[in-house]
Amino acid sequence: MRKLILFFILLLNTFYISSQNTQIDKIKIQEDLENLLSNMSKRYVYLDYKNVDIDCIREKYSSKIDTIKTQADAILFFEYILNEFYDSHISLSTNIQDSYRLSSPIYVEIKNNKAIIKNVWLSQIKNLDIDITEAEILKFNGINFSQKINEFPTICNDKNTLDVKNWIANKIISGKYSEPRVLRLKLKTSREIDFDMDAIKLKNNKSLITSNIINEIGIIRINNSLGNNFLIKKFDEVLDSLSQTKGLILDLRNTNSGGNTYVAKGIMSRFINKELPYQKHQFTETWDNQPKIIRSWFELVTPRGIQYTKPVVVLVGRWTGSMGEGLAIGFDGMQRAKIVGSEMKRLAGSDFDFKFNNQNFGYKVILEKLYHINGTPREKYIPSNYVKQTTILKDETLEKGIILLNKIAQSKY
């Protein structure tokens, strides 16, 4: 009997401690919410340019804290808060099965209240045999696409604004890891089909870089490795092997994950013969509750190694991301290459990592704005040799790049 009483006492103590921990966890979540919103209010450099209601976020999400029961709930709670800022350069450092992916191999744009496929990651997809460019998305998993936008799990977004709609549309087709992604499409031929996004297979690039020669033109493709410091040595080896070509095409259309300035400057430094600026930084600082002061500076590239002096064309697209975008505007700003392609991924600014006080994961905040040296915001840059994708039957960007490079090479010799 005494053992039974002790068992119940221990059981009650366990329930009591568990309930206390739940209460403490919720208090800590509220604390992290306040710190997150304070950080975004003070440090997120694009806040003034976005239609974000911080007070609404604080009120609506504070009221949802009582519904958080698990760690997975907490992760989604903070993920959805960051989604309120509709910025693809902001994300948590973790995810779960019910999280949304960060991107997809298709880019959608809202036109006349219709979701139209504007870009397809042709250079990286290996099994697409249906031309879905310019197709209208009618449904997602059987639900009208406009309804999916309205039901997207953000609370304070103004889903009637075009910027928000476009961002949400692309999050929807990126999809949750745990759910299928079946699109009902109306092709430009007016034929309707069901298209399974999860059937798309991407090329598995095991090497950091690939290269080949086409009609005396060297072609170097960066395989999403701009964050790998070992790329510099590999790039040097490949570039040296192409020294006798009449020109070079640098393909940055598979740099979706971005990278770092160390690698980017290591690449650019092989193409210039004097120190040159490649991008402008702008940072707003304030100390001791004093007025905000803007600091700005140009970042320079210093020549390195044996220079490649022949003409260069850089290929870009919707999956040229972050540091890939920095490379493109750098080559353009230094007047060392012609840029060919479409809009890039348009990841605004430079991201920095922050930790929550009470969670075992963190998040990114954009602290710096980045510009082309001519003053154009990096995320607004459009190549002067623009390519509108109209088909998947041929690589229109590569074709235009080769034509342009041949034209430049002929004019120089």
Q: How many CA atoms lie within 13 A of 228 on its CB side?
A: 15
Mean pLDDT for the stretch of residues 127-147: 95
For residue 80, count other CB atoms closer than 10 A to its CB: 18
Task: Write out pLDDT tens, residues 95-126.
Answer: 999 999 999 999 999 999 999 999 999 999 98
Q: What is the pLDDT of residue 137?
A: 97
Q: Cβ(106)–Cβ(202) under 8 Å?
A: no
pLDDT tens digits, 162-203: 999 999 999 999 999 999 999 999 999 999 999 999 999 999
pLDDT for residue 241: 95
Identify the pLDDT of residue 4: 45
pLDDT tens, 332-361? 999 999 999 999 999 998 889 999 999 999
With bands split at pLDDT 50, 70 and 90, how would you rate the model's confidence at 292? Answer: confident
| Distance from C-alpha of 152 to C-alpha of 203, rounded to nearest angstrom | 30
Query: b/e string for 220-250 if b means 16 or more Cβ within 10 A?
Result: bbbbbbbbbeebbeebbebbeebeebbbbbb
pLDDT at residue 25 in the model: 80
Burial of 314 (0-12, 13-18, 19+ CB in 10 A): buried
Does residue 155 surpass a pLDDT of 60? yes
pLDDT digits (tens, 9 = 90+) for 369-381: 999 999 999 999 9
